[in-house]
A and B are shown apart, each in its own frame.
Chain A
């Protein structure tokens, strides 16, 4: 059994007991425990089920590389699936449940897959479930989906919040082991601004666990001294619980800090996303131990040797009473020694190497530990827990010569440097034959903006595994980082680490070497996804020989640990199957994140009301108070209508239309774009921008204008007013203001940069109100001030003045066909002005109206709307706006584009009005059909509706549409099929349905 030892545990506080539950069972641990350590201390080795075969799964590792020990954690708004227990700090009240089983962890029905495993090799699903056709979606896929999936689905809205922060530094050091500390010291002493990040809550990494001595003292002393020195430096920032998970181009690093993960509900954000720009990145991310591939290596109780050591030394937890160590290197002997020294039984060390020398094996021998050289585990006994191992010759085929009873197996297949941060932006790797691992190739680093190396690998992450080499390498890396940024590292002797001499490891990719198919089907590579040695060999046999093919065909390394344990072993097996060298086979691409990152942290605080910035007009609060129904228009929200009690939106719109046509309507038009264009060349510039002539517009007058892109397609429209000799004010659509302003600047800065023109987007500097309807003038006259009579301010003119004490600019323009004034006042006075209009207007029947009423009224008048009549493929000529397209101008944006054959084709669909024969409303988006079908069997069409409304004024459906040669076909009938059957017939008419002669707006 696994249990808590009476003594020791460098990370736990035995004075602070903490209670938690696992599958409802109450358990106890200590402050400083990880959840995995606490589970083991309570003899809970079995923690989950695997993905495919639902096999029992136990804790394998002690850190981020853990593939098995994932749990559902928390409840309600703090529920979280797939929480990795080996990196989860224990806290009082923690609740966890195991995953991927039904009905229970101990008895899982899904385990039938295990018994059928022989029939479910890699990729079996590509070869079956093919017939009958409907069965995949309706039968097989639901079964597959239900049995896959790991964690449960969160049900409630996230109760936590997340923060995002920026940081800038010269040198970012990822990893707070002795290598990271030393690199940070060197860079910090050189004067570099350093940020040092450590994923765990404590510093020092493996060195203290492994009993390394640095400059004659225990590693802990070095760590303490280094931290003291670093903390005293103002140019150094230290941060624990912070994982640098991804390196992006130009020195951009993302890190996730666990702020309140272990103190849920204390008011702090759960996590904080750091966006860091670094001059250089030192990757001191250590190395990860590899499992060995022997039959039954997935049975709970089989663990990494380093993890076993971590649990004993860090948390005083023994994973088993009797632990067999199996290895191909000297390092694993540290585990045997640590276990023995903790008073635990180590029946044997099974070493695949025929000759075992080295200081550590010698020490183990001296402690009386039996060492079996040239040997292998041929099979692990047990199902939900290891009960023993059968051993035989590594050079053999799997004959067992002895069985050794044990309840844990500590395995070590050597170490792989963590090269993720090096590789994310394209750093290349080199195969180190002696250590049998890939390490960063310093000659081919990832490069940053100036072409220099962006990442510098340090210590174990650079393949410098022995403590002495590791520190020296980190010292060099820190100096190199500082130097690269033009700083001078101080000359100081690097600390020296003393460690026992280690003999060479020998790569062992399967154990025993000659194992047959039956054993290879029991050798797990990927514990979570259930990928075995036999699966990789099958992939190779079937021609999935690229490492990417193998990965995808077998799903090797695609589980939530992203192959941290399985990748190297898998590709070694693949290389062997192909009779190729490992470096020839290569690795799969390392992609961020290094460990999974909470999506909430990436989304940050942008949710709910502040999901996106909200633009408000000065009158926004009034609309809200009136209960307006809003619609989003870009980042604005505009009142769609102002429904009264008991009214539907449709009824409200009809009331607003009728009231405006008969009495008086008020529209908040502040969102309308307003751009000042000024300068000696402003007229010339606007003549290029608009399809019609603006330079000839007299001061004091307004002119409607169209803008096209270079393709000749309409992009925006609006009324332009000439303010003075060299100043124009261009109105744009609400959604178009920023785009059009940017468009203007583009041409002015990049094409006609010698033209003397300034532009300014003053959209938000003014509040604008449209006062519309037969009573409009009465209202303004009541307010009093400037002369707004027909004579003083005729249609399509503007004037500055005062109304009711407000400084204002009044435009006589109309988008409704009614007598209409658009009045701009300084934004700060917008609300007061709006209220004054509403108050004074009451006696004239004033009502506010929204965007939909505006749309209906403009459609009744046949005025086009950008975005309705246009969609990016429509020219001004398609809309019969020929009068607004200058034939005199030699050039304007879009002129050449319109001349192309397809755009000049007389067969194009053109704007007309559409009057339904039965008075009904043509459905939104309907197409007019022509006889026959095209070459692809699609029904031929000859037009489509662009705007269609019920007109409360005319009491019938009206529409505008684009119809093939439309204007030539007045009076003809076209047919619009409805979705679901039937059709509407409509007569082609003029698009102006109301006040065809424009008398009302001119009064």
Chain B
């Protein structure tokens, strides 16, 4: 039963207030993209056992989407940040590196 702090309204939200939305920072591929690009956009997921960046919506709260950095093996949360972010913020990346020296990084 997760708690994630919504970066929009500041509420430490119970999991029951939230809707999960899958992997974050996916790049959309539309018309003109190759079959491989489109398949990867639709289906290829990092699915890491460890540090993961993912989308959540504060569905039964302020309604805003946000992103979270979370460990899928321990459920530790490293931080949450607004959905309008194209890659993980430096402070969260630094925090993860400090806690998980083995982490291979976001890319």
Q: Do chains A and B touch in the complex (CB under 8 A)?
A: yes
Q: Does A900 sit at the interface, judged by CB under 8 A?
A: yes
Q: CB-CB < 8 A to A972: which residues of B?
A: none
Checking A449, A745, A746, A897 against B2 with a beta-carbon cut-off of 8 angstroms, the contacting residue is A449
Q: Does A116 sit at the interface, judged by CB under 8 A?
A: no
Q: Does A250 sit at the interface, judged by CB under 8 A?
A: yes
Q: What does DSSP make chain B's interface, helix, strand, loop or mixed?
A: loop
- Contacts A450-B77, A742-B57: A899 and B83 contacting too (C-beta < 8 A)? no
Which A64-82 residues have C-beta < 8 A from chain B? none
Q: Does B10 sit at the interface, judged by CB under 8 A?
A: no
Q: CB-CB < 8 A to B65: which residues of A?
A: 745-746, 749-750
- Contacts A742-B59, A745-B63: A896 and B38 contacting too (C-beta < 8 A)? yes
Q: CB-CB < 8 A to B42: which residues of A?
A: 710-711, 897
Q: CB-CB < 8 A to A891: which residues of B?
A: 30-31
Checking B2, B19, B28, B32 against A249 with a beta-carbon cut-off of 8 angstroms, the contacting residue is B2
In whole Å, how far is A382's beta carbon from the nearest beta carbon of chain B? Answer: 49
By the criterion CB–CB under 8 Å, are B83 and A753 in contact?
yes
Distance A897 CA – B28 CA, assembled complex (angstroms): 12
Question: Who on chain A is nearest to B24 by CB?
Answer: A750
By the criterion CB–CB under 8 Å, are A248 and B31 in contact?
no
- Contacts A249-B1, A250-B1: A751 and B28 contacting too (C-beta < 8 A)? yes
How big is the B interface, by class?
20 to 34
By the criterion CB–CB under 8 Å, are B77 and A749 in contact?
no
Which A666-722 residues have C-beta < 8 A from chain B? 710-711
Checking A248, A251, A449 against B76 with a beta-carbon cut-off of 8 angstroms, the contacting residue is A449
Q: CB-CB < 8 A to B2: which residues of A?
A: 249-250, 449
Distance A426 CA – B1 CA, assembled complex (angstroms): 14
Distance A682 CA – B1 CA, assembled complex (angstroms): 37
Q: Does A451 sit at the interface, judged by CB under 8 A?
A: yes
Distance A362 CA – B81 CA, assembled complex (angstroms): 67
In whole Å, how far is B55's beta carbon from the nearest beta carbon of chain A? Answer: 7
In whole Å, how far is B22's beta carbon from the nearest beta carbon of chain A? Answer: 11
By the criterion CB–CB under 8 Å, are B29 and A896 in contact?
yes
Q: Does A447 sit at the interface, judged by CB under 8 A?
A: yes
By the criterion CB–CB under 8 Å, are B83 and A252 in contact?
no
By the criterion CB–CB under 8 Å, are B3 and A449 in contact?
yes
By the criterion CB–CB under 8 Å, are A753 and B1 in contact?
no
Q: Does A895 sit at the interface, judged by CB under 8 A?
A: yes
In whole Å, how far is B20's beta carbon from the nearest beta carbon of chain A? Answer: 12
Which B90-107 residues have C-beta < 8 A from chain A? 99
In whole Å, how far is A880's beta carbon from the nearest beta carbon of chain B? Answer: 22
Q: CB-CB < 8 A to A745: which residues of B?
A: 57, 63, 65
Checking A249, A449, A749, A751 against B64 with a beta-carbon cut-off of 8 angstroms, the contacting residue is A749
| Chain A proximity mask over B2-39: 1 for CB below 8 Å, otherwise 0 | 11000000000010000101000000111111010010
Distance A751 CA – B35 CA, assembled complex (angstroms): 21
Q: Does A532 sit at the interface, judged by CB under 8 A?
A: no
Q: CB-CB < 8 A to B30: which residues of A?
A: 891, 895-896
| Chain B proximity mask over A740-762: 1 for CB below 8 Å, otherwise 0 | 00100110011101000000000
In whole Å, how far is B88's beta carbon from the nearest beta carbon of chain A? Answer: 15
By the criterion CB–CB under 8 Å, are A750 and B55 in contact?
yes
Q: CB-CB < 8 A to A450: which residues of B?
A: 76-77
In whole Å, how far is A698's beta carbon from the nearest beta carbon of chain B? Answer: 27
Distance A249 CA – B15 CA, assembled complex (angstroms): 11
Which B63-89 residues have C-beta < 8 A from chain A? 63-65, 74-77, 83-84
In whole Å, how far is A610's beta carbon from the nearest beta carbon of chain B? Answer: 18
By the criterion CB–CB under 8 Å, are B75 and A449 in contact?
yes
Q: Does A165 sit at the interface, judged by CB under 8 A?
A: no
In whole Å, how far is B79's beta carbon from the nearest beta carbon of chain A? Answer: 10
By the criterion CB–CB under 8 Å, are B74 and A447 in contact?
yes
By the criterion CB–CB under 8 Å, are A895 and B31 in contact?
yes
Q: Does A890 sit at the interface, judged by CB under 8 A?
A: yes
By the criterion CB–CB under 8 Å, are B3 and A277 in contact?
yes
| Chain B proximity mask over A230-256: 1 for CB below 8 Å, otherwise 0 | 000000000000000000111110000
Distance A579 CA – B31 CA, assembled complex (angstroms): 65
Q: CB-CB < 8 A to A447: which residues of B?
A: 74, 76
By the criterion CB–CB under 8 Å, are A451 and B99 in contact?
yes
User: How many contacts between A and B, using CB within 8 angstroms?
Assistant: 64
How big is the A interface, by class?
20 to 34
Which B41-66 residues have C-beta < 8 A from chain A? 42, 55, 57, 59, 63-65
Checking B77, B83, B99 against A750 with a beta-carbon cut-off of 8 angstroms, the contacting residue is B83
| Chain B proximity mask over A895-924: 1 for CB below 8 Å, otherwise 0 | 111011000000000000000000000000
Distance A745 CA – B56 CA, assembled complex (angstroms): 12
Distance A711 CA – B83 CA, assembled complex (angstroms): 23
- Contacts A249-B75, A745-B63: A753 and B84 contacting too (C-beta < 8 A)? yes
By the criterion CB–CB under 8 Å, are A749 and B75 in contact?
no
Q: CB-CB < 8 A to B75: which residues of A?
A: 249-250, 449
Which A243-277 residues have C-beta < 8 A from chain B? 248-252, 277
Distance A252 CA – B19 CA, assembled complex (angstroms): 18
In whole Å, how far is A511's beta carbon from the nearest beta carbon of chain B? Answer: 42
By the criterion CB–CB under 8 Å, are B38 and A900 in contact?
yes
Distance A711 CA – B76 CA, assembled complex (angstroms): 33
Distance A426 CA – B32 CA, assembled complex (angstroms): 48
Q: CB-CB < 8 A to B32: which residues of A?
A: 896
By the criterion CB–CB under 8 Å, are A248 and B1 in contact?
yes
Q: CB-CB < 8 A to B33: which residues of A?
A: 896
Q: CB-CB < 8 A to B83: which residues of A?
A: 749-750, 753
By the criterion CB–CB under 8 Å, are A749 and B38 in contact?
no
In whole Å, how far is B40's beta carbon from the nearest beta carbon of chain A? Answer: 12
In whole Å, how far is B78's beta carbon from the nearest beta carbon of chain A? Answer: 8
- Contacts A745-B63, A890-B31: A897 and B76 contacting too (C-beta < 8 A)? no
Q: Considering residues B1, B19, B32, which has the most beta carbons from chain A within 10 angstroms of its beta carbon?
A: B1
In whole Å, how far is A347's beta carbon from the nearest beta carbon of chain B? Answer: 54
In whole Å, how far is A521's beta carbon from the nearest beta carbon of chain B? Answer: 44
Q: CB-CB < 8 A to B14: which residues of A?
A: 277
In whole Å, how far is B1's beta carbon from the nearest beta carbon of chain A? Answer: 4
In whole Å, how far is B4's beta carbon from the nearest beta carbon of chain A? Answer: 8
Distance A745 CA – B62 CA, assembled complex (angstroms): 12
In whole Å, how far is A252's beta carbon from the nearest beta carbon of chain B? Answer: 4
Question: Who on chain A is nearest to B65 by CB?
Answer: A749
Q: CB-CB < 8 A to A250: which residues of B?
A: 1-3, 75
| Chain B proximity mask over A305-348: 1 for CB below 8 Å, otherwise 0 | 00000000000000000000000000000000000000000000
Question: Who on chain B is nearest to A746 by CB?
Answer: B65
Which A158-194 residues have C-beta < 8 A from chain B? none
Q: CB-CB < 8 A to B57: which residues of A?
A: 742, 745-746
Q: CB-CB < 8 A to B3: which residues of A?
A: 250-251, 277, 449
Question: Who on chain A is nearest to B39 by CB?
Answer: A900
Q: CB-CB < 8 A to B35: which residues of A?
A: 900
Distance A449 CA – B70 CA, assembled complex (angstroms): 9
Q: CB-CB < 8 A to A746: which residues of B?
A: 21, 57, 65
Q: CB-CB < 8 A to A753: which residues of B?
A: 83-84
Q: CB-CB < 8 A to A710: which residues of B?
A: 42
By the criterion CB–CB under 8 Å, are B84 and A451 in contact?
no
Distance A77 CA – B42 CA, assembled complex (angstroms): 52
Question: Who on chain A is nearest to B35 by CB?
Answer: A900
| Chain B proximity mask over A498-526: 1 for CB below 8 Å, otherwise 0 | 00000000000000000000000000000
Question: Who on chain B is nearest to A709 by CB?
Answer: B42
Question: Who on chain B is nearest to A249 by CB?
Answer: B75
In whole Å, how far is B102's beta carbon from the nearest beta carbon of chain A? Answer: 15
Q: Considering residues A248, A449, A745, A890, which has the most beta carbons from chain B within 10 angstroms of its beta carbon?
A: A449
Q: CB-CB < 8 A to B63: which residues of A?
A: 745
20 further A-B pairs in the complex, CB-CB below 8 A; given A753-B83, A891-B31: A250-B1, A426-B74, A447-B74, A447-B76, A449-B3, A449-B76, A451-B74, A451-B76, A742-B19, A745-B65, A749-B65, A749-B84, A750-B21, A751-B28, A753-B84, A890-B31, A896-B29, A896-B32, A897-B38, A897-B42
Q: What 9 A-B pairs come out closest when comparing CB atoms?
A: A252-B1, A749-B65, A753-B84, A451-B76, A250-B3, A891-B30, A750-B83, A248-B1, A449-B77
Interchain Cβ contacts under 8 Å between A and B, 21 examples: A250-B1, A252-B1, A449-B2, A449-B75, A450-B76, A451-B74, A451-B99, A711-B42, A742-B57, A746-B57, A746-B65, A749-B65, A750-B21, A750-B55, A750-B65, A750-B83, A751-B28, A890-B31, A891-B30, A897-B38, A899-B31
